[in-house]
Copies of this chain bind each other. A is one copy, B any other.
């Protein structure tokens, strides 16, 4: 089974920032963060590792920043009806995204790409503000929500590895989330 060599191999998909970051995410999801190297990433893209630097001048730093942005940016949508329901469905989606890309979690917990979370945080704050909370409480609540979701996802990833007794993690996550949502004044 020889792969078609052909002249077409010469004009392959052009290398782009997005293609590079997607390929990197694929490696991290499949093999773990530790196996993401510039050389392996080059192989996956059928290109020499050094070609990547042309599209990401800051090199691996910029690559990891891109991964963080790709995973962490997920603003909450304000449905007019029930703001608690809106926050619940955002939290479920965010948790799912973090678990799907658990290898990126350690990067999210670094000083790396500090602006990556600001859009998401702002969307939470805005929902709480529209729900009638004063500015300060809305800001505090937004951080409580985001912090809880990230922290809980981290615990899930860890304890899933420990493989202790079987736990309904989604139920546990929802229970903790309910504590916070209940505490937020109407």
Contacts and interface: CB of A to CB of B under 8 A. Distances in A.
Interface residues of A, number: 43
B143 A176 contact: yes
Interface of A: 105-111, 114-115, 117-118, 137, 139-141, 143-144, 146-155, 157-159, 161-162, 164, 171-172, 175-176, 178-180, 182-184
Contacts of A117: 155, 158-159
B148 A144 contact: yes
The number of times this chain is found in the oligomer is 2
Contacts of A108: 109, 154, 158
Contact of A106 (B110, B137, B146, B182): B110
A160 B49 CA distance: 34
A153 to B, nearest CB: 8
Contacts of A172: 139-140, 143
